[in-house]
């Protein structure tokens, strides 16, 4: 049942803002600088003598994998370009990390593509895929291929049943850019059962487009997906499963290509006015009602999915990036908006979609960063997680200095780490199942680190 404009206009002003993060506001002048933490967060970042990762006092890191340096259990080097990551509990205290590798185009383009492991290859021409990293209690690690022969594996998402959905942010057809099969799909990878990953099959029911991230509503079974695209801007999608379908390990493989319904949002404000782009929102706490419009051709056989809608049909957003399911809904990122967006320029939004109320609420708004090269300024949120200690932890993919940063319930931001190696983005931010370790990636060349320290609940002020 859809939420009509009239119903939303009548109830919109009374809607409570939900989610433990609250209304997180960050104006350009209020971005937390490392030397101005004001008692929030973990204190200033200290330069790393090794030149890799600046952290607050009391924190330390360990490199788990490094492209071209560490090796898989079959002897090949760890692949390049680390991106989206999820952490799963394994047997005997093991943590299993599934790590995407955002490698686009032919394998010859990359020094360390994902190896073509026997039985785990979708398209032998493609360089991307993901690996599984086993972190044992004694600190030892092992790494192996989860899927190979996919393209531009960017973000993705963990499922409620303990698997990883890896997303292709590339929709090349067979015959384009050297590819031998169609791309632009979502694939499921089981970190606990290598045999379950054999003969990779795309989940075509989720559509073919430049996928970024995906989350699954554990109660209703809906999947939510983001699209990182422009010209026109991308969309936030919902997939509704067919009647009687039950999720679980291996069940997505059983879906027909046209199973369920793929939909895009059509948003409106509390006055019932259509909102064409998320960049129209200029204040945190903005609440939009959401109706869902069916996608005509989810496999984009002739026209890209996002171009199948007229200007007044759906609500778009620029660089729709990471997502995380928590607090009964989906947190999703719009990384920035400039001339390609019709609203007000910004350097990052985080929205919360509440499936029960069918609303989007703007939780975080980063104003335009006038000096990206200055340490302490923040822009370009990308991968995101909800911290077990309260608030959000966000990986920065901005124009200058790159950080991992947190945001408290009351809108304060604070630094957690700074990339001292290069200007590469952070990605793959996720806590261990026990909450004691924060894992994150520096995308170029591809480094996965484990950060430990005196984690604590961030103050609400």
CA distance 205 to 308: 17
pLDDT in tens, 233-269: 999 999 999 999 999 999 999 999 999 999 999 999 9
Beta-carbon contacts of 157 under 8 Å, excluding residues fewer than 6 positions away, are: 84, 86, 164, 165, 167, 213, 214, 215, 216, 323, 324, 325
CA distance 175 to 157: 29
pLDDT in tens, 33-59: 233 333 468 999 999 999 999 999 999
- Domains of the chain: residue spans and CATH: 5-452 (2.120.10.30)
The total of other beta-carbon atoms located within 10 Å of residue 273's CB is: 11
DSSP assigned state of 243: T
pLDDT in tens, 167-207: 999 999 999 999 999 999 999 999 999 999 999 999 999 99
CA distance 161 to 193: 13
* Distances in whole angstroms, Cα of residue 148 to Cα of each of 91, 120, 176: 25, 6, 18
Comparing 82 with 25, which gets the higher pLDDT?
A: 82
* Residue 13 pLDDT greater than 50, yes or no: no
pTM assigned to the model: 0.92
Predicted confidence band at 1 (pLDDT cuts at 50, 70, 90)?
very low
Contact between residue 166 and residue 189 where contact means Cβ atoms under 8 Å apart: yes
Which tokens go with 29? 């002048």
Nearest CA among 249, 263, 270, 329 for reference residue 296: 263
Find where tokens 């604070």 sit. Answer: 414
- State the pLDDT at residue 34: 30
The total of other beta-carbon atoms located within 10 Å of residue 279's CB is: 23
Torsion angle, alpha carbons of 7, 8, 14, 17, to 10: 140
3-class DSSP assignment, residue 411: coil
């Amino acid at each position: 049942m859809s939420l009509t404009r009239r119903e939303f206009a009548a109830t919109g002003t009374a809607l409570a803002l939900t989610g433990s993060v609250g209304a997180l506001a960050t104006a350009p002048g209020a971005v937390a600088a490392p030397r101005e933490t004001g008692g929030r967060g973990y204190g200033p970042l200290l330069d790393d003598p090794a030149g890799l990762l600046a952290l607050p006092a009391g924190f330390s890191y360990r490199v788990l994998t490094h492209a071209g340096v560490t090796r898989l259990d079959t002897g090949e080097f760890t692949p390049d370009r680390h991106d989206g990551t999820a952490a799963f509990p394994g047997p005997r205290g093991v943590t299993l990390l599934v790590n995407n590798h955002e490698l686009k185009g032919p394998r010859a383009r990359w020094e360390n593509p994902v190896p073509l492991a026997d039985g785990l290859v979708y398209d032998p021409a493609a360089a991307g895929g993901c690996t599984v990293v086993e972190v044992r209690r004694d600190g030892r690690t092992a790494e192996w291929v989860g899927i190979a022969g996919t393209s531009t594996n960017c973000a993705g998402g963990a499922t409620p049943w303990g698997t990883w959905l890896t997303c292709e942010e590339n929709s090349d057809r067979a015959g384009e850019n050297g590819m031998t099969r169609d791309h632009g799909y979502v694939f499921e990878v089981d970190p606990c059962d290598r045999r379950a990953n054999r003969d990779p099959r795309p989940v075509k029911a989720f559509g073919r487009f430049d996928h970024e991230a995906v989350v699954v509503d554990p109660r209703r079974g809906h999947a939510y997906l983001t699209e990182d695209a422009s010209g026109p801007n991308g969309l936030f999608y919902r997939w509704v499963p067919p009647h009687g379908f039950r999720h679980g390990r291996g069940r997505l493989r059983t879906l027909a290509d046209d199973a369920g319904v793929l939909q895009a949002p059509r948003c409106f404000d509390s006055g019932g006015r259509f909102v064409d782009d998320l960049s129209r929102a200029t204040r945190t706490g903005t609440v939009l009602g959401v109706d869902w419009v069916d996608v005509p051709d989810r496999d984009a056989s002739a026209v890209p999915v996002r171009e199948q809608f007229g200007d007044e049909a759906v609500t778009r957003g620029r660089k729709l990036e990471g997502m995380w399911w928590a607090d009964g809904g989906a947190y999703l990122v719009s990384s920035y908006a400039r001339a390609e967006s019709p609203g007000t320029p910004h350097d990052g939004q985080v929205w919360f979609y509440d499936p029960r109320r069918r609303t989007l609420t703007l939780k975080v708004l980063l104003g335009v960063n006038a000096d990206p090269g200055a340490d302490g300024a923040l822009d370009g949120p990308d991968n995101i997680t909800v911290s077990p200690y309260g608030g959000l932890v966000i990986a920065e993919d901005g124009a200058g200095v790159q950080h991992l940063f947190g945001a408290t319930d009351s809108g304060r931001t604070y630094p957690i780490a700074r990339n001292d190696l290069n200007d590469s983005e952070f990605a793959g931010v996720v806590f261990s199942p026990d909450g004691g370790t924060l894992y994150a990636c520096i995308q170029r060349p591809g480094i996965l680190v484990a950060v430990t320290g005196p984690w604590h609940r961030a103050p609400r002020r």
